């Protein structure tokens, strides 16, 4: 079996190629380079690969994505429409997404940013206590990431609801399903936490008319993709005060351009797409297991439904 490893980012032979080869004895793992001839590989392991990979490697039988989101892959014109695409499932990322959401929600609801400002001014001024009923959290997408996020916030006694296509949510979380129930979900939500995948249906889902349906003083946490959020609509609603603040990890353009207003906005917190980092050991173990199953013709999970886009 031959595996080609392709990414637009710099890949360390020592950190990725050698451990993947060790995890799949008998497999040959090569790093894809645009200046090399076709490798005639059986499968590709990728993270934001160049389109040229699929123009060159014509014998690929499947693609294994080193991330949960497959939107970047689906943007490539040369990805064959019937090529099986397998994504990463959790691999240590869900707990990090939950930590990120807790960080943002707790900071907003317990007014910890105000205490940081107080310290700067040498001020000792306890603020009113937290009433959790005033901070209902709504999680967009209750898949692998959203479920862990919702469970974790519910364990901290925030009233939590989840929205998905199926309406499936973990115990202790109120479920809302599909476009019909989106208005009711938004109307009971103050902190909106996004963990959706980017698809044609979810693009721009956080825009003026949806964000305005949130409870006044709403707070936004975006960990999904930048294209879920219409950035100028968020800025306008921050100006009116309907949205009190936002913690954003993903952006329409990454890295976020230096001149972007989010950098200097007093009520926006920016992080550089790090809500969940790939954990190399867990990622390699999972991908190796999935490749092994695929090659042996065994059932495997994480196969993306091309029609749904996730």
* Nearest C-alpha neighbor of 308 from the set 206, 184, 164, 172: 164
Instruction: Encode burial over 67-96: b for 16+ CB neighbours within 10 A, e otherwise.
Output: bbbbbbbbebeebeeeebbbbbebbbbbeb
CB neighbourhood size of 173 (10 A): 22
Instruction: Tell me the closest approach of the beta carbon of residue 146 to ligand OXD, in angstroms.
Output: 13
Contact 136, 190 (CB under 8 A): yes
Contact characters 179-218, ligand OXD, x per CB under 6 A: ----------------------------------------
CA gap 132, 137 in Å, rounded: 10
Residue 270, φ and ψ in degrees, nearest 5: -115, 130
The answer to whether 68 contacts ligand OXD (rule: CB under 6 A) is yes
Contact 271, 249 (CB under 8 A): yes
Of the listed pieces 74-82, 115-123, 165-173, 211-219, which binds ligand NDP according to CB under 6 A? 165-173
Instruction: Tell me the closest approach of the beta carbon of residue 43 to ligand NDP, in angstroms.
Output: 21
Instruction: Tell me the closest approach of the beta carbon of residue 84 to ligand NDP, in angstroms.
Output: 16
Beta bridge partners, 161, equal 138, 174
The answer to whether 254 contacts ligand NDP (rule: CB under 6 A) is no
Select the residue whose beta carbon is closest to ligand NDP and give its number. Answer: 143
Q: Measuring CA to CA, how many Å separate 170 from each of 162, 165, 285? A: 9, 14, 27
Query: Which of ligand OXD, ligand NDP, none does residue 196 bind to, with CB < 5 to 8 Å depending on kind?
Result: ligand NDP
The answer to whether 141 contacts ligand OXD (rule: CB under 6 A) is no
Nearer to ligand OXD, 213 or 278 (CB): 278
User: Known catalytic residue: 273?
Assistant: yes
Answer for which of 3, 23, 46, 67 binds ligand OXD (CB under 6 A) is 67
Contact characters 218-257, ligand OXD, x per CB under 6 A: ----------------------------------------
Q: What is the DSSP letter of 261?
A: G
The answer to whether 68 contacts ligand NDP (rule: CB under 6 A) is yes
Q: Measuring CA to CA, how many Å separate 155 from each of 76, 123, 220? A: 40, 32, 20
Q: 56, 148, 190, 225: which one is catalytic? A: 225
Looking at the chain, which runs of residues are DSSP E strands? Answer: 2-7, 28-31, 43-47, 62-65, 85-86, 137-140, 160-164, 174-177, 191-194, 218-222, 243-248, 268-270
Residues belonging to the active site: 225, 273
* Footprint of ligand OXD (CB under 6 A): 67-69, 276
* Footprint of ligand NDP (CB under 6 A): 68-69, 93, 141-146, 164-166, 168, 195-199, 201-202, 223-225, 249-250, 273, 275-276, 310
């Amino acid at each position: 079996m031959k595996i080609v490893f392709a990414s637009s980012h710099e890949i360390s032979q020592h950190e990725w190629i050698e451990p993947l080869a060790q995890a799949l004895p008998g497999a040959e793992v090569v790093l894809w380079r645009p200046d090399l001839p076709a490798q005639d590989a059986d499968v590709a392991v990728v993270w934001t690969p160049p389109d040229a990979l699929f123009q060159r490697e014509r014998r690929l039988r499947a693609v294994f994505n080193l991330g949960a989101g497959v939107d970047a892959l689906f943007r490539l014109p040369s990805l064959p429409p019937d090529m099986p695409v397998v994504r990463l499932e959790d691999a240590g990322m869900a707990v990090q997404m939950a930590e990120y959401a807790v960080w943002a929600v707790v900071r907003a609801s317990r007014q910890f940013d105000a205490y940081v400002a107080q310290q700067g001014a040498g001020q000792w001024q306890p603020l009113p206590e937290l009433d959790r009923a005033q901070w209902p959290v709504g999680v967009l997408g209750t898949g692998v990431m959203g479920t862990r996020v919702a469970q974790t916030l519910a364990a901290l006694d925030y009233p939590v609801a989840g929205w998905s296509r199926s309406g499936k949510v973990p115990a202790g979380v109120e479920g809302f399903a599909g476009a019909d129930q989106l208005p009711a979900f938004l109307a009971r939500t103050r902190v909106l936490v996004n963990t959706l995948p980017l698809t044609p249906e979810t693009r721009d889902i956080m825009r003026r008319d949806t964000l305005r349906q949130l409870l006044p003083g709403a707070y936004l946490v975006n960990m999904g993709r930048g294209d879920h959020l219409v950035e100028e609509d968020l800025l306008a609603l921050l100006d009116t005060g309907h949205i009190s603040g936002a913690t954003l990890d993903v952006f329409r353009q990454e890295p976020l351009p230096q001149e972007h207003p989010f950098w200097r906005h007093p009520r926006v917190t920016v992080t550089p797409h790090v809500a969940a980092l790939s954990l190399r050991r867990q990622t390699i173990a999972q991908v190796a297991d999935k490749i092994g199953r695929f090659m042996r013709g065994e059932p495997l999970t994480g196969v993306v439904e091309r029609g749904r886009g996730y």
